[in-house]
Amino acid sequence: MSILPKIIRPVGRLAACLMGGWLLCAATAPHAADAMPSPPSPAVAPAEAPTYYGAEVPPTSVLRFKPIQAWQALPPDTGFVRSRLSMISNETAVIAQMLLFAVLGLIVIYTVRHYYFAFNRLFGRQRHPYVDIDTAVWPTVTVFIAAHNEEAVIANSLEALLDVDYPPERIRLMPVNDRSTDRTKEIIDSYVARFPGRITPFHRTGGKPGKSAALKDATELVDSDIIIIFDADYVPGKGLIKQLVAPFLDPENGAVMGRVVPLNTGSNLLTRLLDLERSGGYQVDQQARMNLRMVPQYGGTVGGVRRAALESIGGWRDDALAEDTDLTYRLLLAGWKTVYQNRSECYEEVPESWPVRVRQIMRWAKGHNQAALRYAGRLLFCRGVSFAERVDGLLLLGVYAMSPLLLFGWILAIFLFYCTTNQWLSGALAMFALMGYGALGNFAAYFEISAAVHLDGNRNRIRLLPLNLFGFLISLLAIARATWNQFFFDWLLRRNLVWDKTVRYRQPGAPHVALPSGSTPHHQIGALR
């Protein structure tokens, strides 16, 4: 059963209840005022400052913001304000206001960030410093193919990698079969027998679960200069390995990341929406960071790492849920650069059902939050990192924290609307807080996606842009739920973090996936930008 109705119905009911409560409160407040007994009029000498019951209202009191009415008055020593529904202290109201403004400030910062990246991609100077390198003394390369129960896709990946344009004596393929219980081992061994000397399998039957733990064990068997990593569902093009290795000819580069393009875009509406999301994330976001010399993120697949750089930071962390984000920041703090290659495209399967998508983004959120807690403080005070890298790195670490903060801001806006009578905090401000992200942040994200579609050269996809609102709402709730579970259950109860594998949709034994020649049709123009 689709998860979309399960999420939309509660959200719609909540919005209807809030709007109904707002209208009911607005309609009944004057009558409630008339019904309340008026206190005796005190004999108070006229004063310039607002007073009631003979006492001057403190300058910091929220009562300063609205003329005092008889039905709102309370004894001056209570420190409370009569609200629409109850009483709250002045201090509580002030704190809630400050928190609300802090959330709105963060929304504005991320909004400016979206626009900055989009305009840079449209009108700024583009950096592709390594894309034209075709002839060199190529370093030795080991290609990891991370696989866990991947019988449906592992053959396609091996077929594509056996056909890459890289000196055969300088490359070794190593499928990392992590405790698979299906036919993955059998399929890998059949390719080892067919192509002797070209594939060195690593069949892992025990040890700590998870991709980072498997990569850590496999790296101990590697002596090559460069390690390139693909997930088993990725299908690389013929020239991709050279494109990914070329940045390592520069000795300051520790990692490289290529562009991810969905292979199953036409399956359903979800895959089409994810194609738009990937376009915005890679075509605009990642390339803008590369242009501005900020922090391009290593994505864990369609990328690589220099073995010397990996060893210098202590290798893979087997307790990292998001080994890609973890590696990005450890390399940054150690002085290594990460390069993004926008023209180095590779093809992946994206989730075709909402439950799979929700589990995927919850895993990403937990891994990203884990990295944020580990490295945000160190990055803030790291002297070897430029100011632009520091700011961008901190904002990148906080991306997944914005969803629970946004929900928190909505709750604060409702609380302040119903529990204070300040004239400036009217229903308009509350509605602005509730819809601020949709009107500003979402629009900025949509503008970024629109810029990516323009750069890719296929404008028909822009018709699906408004439907991304559904994806936004589902991601918002999924990330907030993941954050809640992570902080209040996983860490407080000392539960082990579990790596959740993404479902594959290709059928075992299906014919080899035919790749488009050159670039995919809707990326032909984008590949030149």
Residue range 344-361, pLDDT digits in tens: 999 889 999 999 999 999
Of 148, 190, 197, 146, the closest CA to residue 171 belongs to: 197
* 3-class secondary-structure state, position 263: coil
Average predicted confidence (pLDDT) for the chain? 80
Per the CB < 8 A criterion, the answer to whether 96 and 410 are in contact is no
What pLDDT, on a 0 to 100 scale, did the predictor assign at position 124? 95
To the nearest whole percent, how much of the chain has pLDDT over 70?
72
C-alpha 44/C-alpha 274 separation (Å) is 67
Burial of residue 381 (CB within 10 Å: 0-12, 13-18, 19+) is exposed
Q: Is 227 a residue whose pLDDT tops 50? A: yes
Per the CB < 8 A criterion, the answer to whether 458 and 263 are in contact is no
DSSP assignment of 145-160 equals: EEESS-TTTHHHHHHH
Helix-, strand-, coil-residue percentages of the chain, each rounded to 5: 55, 10, 35
What pLDDT, on a 0 to 100 scale, did the predictor assign at position 61? 46
Q: Is 318 a residue whose pLDDT tops 80? A: yes
Say what the pTM is.
0.79
| Exposure b/e, 292-306, CB count within 10 A at least 16 = b | bebbbbbbbbbbbbb
Q: How is the chain split into domains, by residue range? A: 91-128+267-294+352-495
Lowest-confidence segment of 192-196, 365-369, 472-476 by average pLDDT: 472-476
What pLDDT, on a 0 to 100 scale, did the predictor assign at position 508? 61
Of 378, 415, 407, the closest CA to residue 393 belongs to: 378
Residue range 97-129, pLDDT digits in tens: 788 888 888 888 988 999 999 999 999 999 999
